[in-house]
Chain A
Amino acid sequence: MMRNWSDRNIEEILGEILRAGVILSALVVFVGGWLYLIGNAWARPDYRIFRGEPTDLRTLGGIFHGALQLRARAVIQLGLLCLIATPVLRVMASILGFAAERDRMYAIFTSLVLGILLYSLLGAGSAF
């Protein structure tokens, strides 16, 4: 079965989304890293014992709030959030693409994947 024109179209859009997401997140992480180094270069970090991140670095609200105040660690987390959001966007775009092709079966499969992704990002962590 040959790929039709519309399939190629979806693939090109997906490629652009992935590229843009990675570039954007690398830039934000880089800026955050710069701020972090300026403020903390001589601090002595200890990663030997796992303590877990404070709440404002592990919830969406906390990260956005901190990043708006240009707090270095929050800016880095924001960049990492962009990175995590890239595959999510890609899945959303695929749903639209399959819907445009009137491929109901794959629109449903892809929506299922999106549901699992969103459950993990928004719901699963707080269940513990």
Chain B
Amino acid sequence: MRTTVALTVLSFAAALVVGTAVAACRVSPVPPLRWAGALWVELVRNTPLSVLLLLFFFGFTKLGVVYPAFTSAVIVLSAYTSAFIAETVRAGINAVAGGQAEAARALGLTFGQSLATVVLPQALRTVVAPLGGLFIALIKNSSLASLLSVVDLAGVADRLNTATARPIPVFLGAAAAYLLLTIPSGVAIAFVERRVAIKR
């Protein structure tokens, strides 16, 4: 369970940073940045997570990129989630009234300044609920890390099943443990959402 929490929290933190940066690229006035952002989102979002995990862990190793299983899982989970976060944040940015950015520019702020101080704070507040949904999806996606021999919640269940040959109690228990993580997360997200909601 601790491994699952660590995988999720580390990956989400990294994905939030990368995802926001990618979203910023996608709305930036520089065409190559926009293209790079779009390419990242479309490539990563449209590939199965299990394929990405195996590609990174077994494939990239041949190119000299050798990371331990846990690190590899965090890297791939962050990359995968970042694509979804980027699209969510971009939707949030588009939801911020156009006048806000124009006013910021009229004050003499550069694109970066206006994004960081005016647009993003409002954008992120609007997308708390969908970001929370991505967090919960990530908790569940992290179970695929057991493909790379990471012993997370799903990996422990696998081992218990091997030892006891009692799949029903073992996997029902694993499902319950995931609920213990996901349901409180949902409650916490709803709380944060209420706290930071913008009145329009």
Q: Do A and B bind each other?
A: no
Binding site for A on B (CB under 8 A): none
Binding site for B on A (CB under 8 A): none
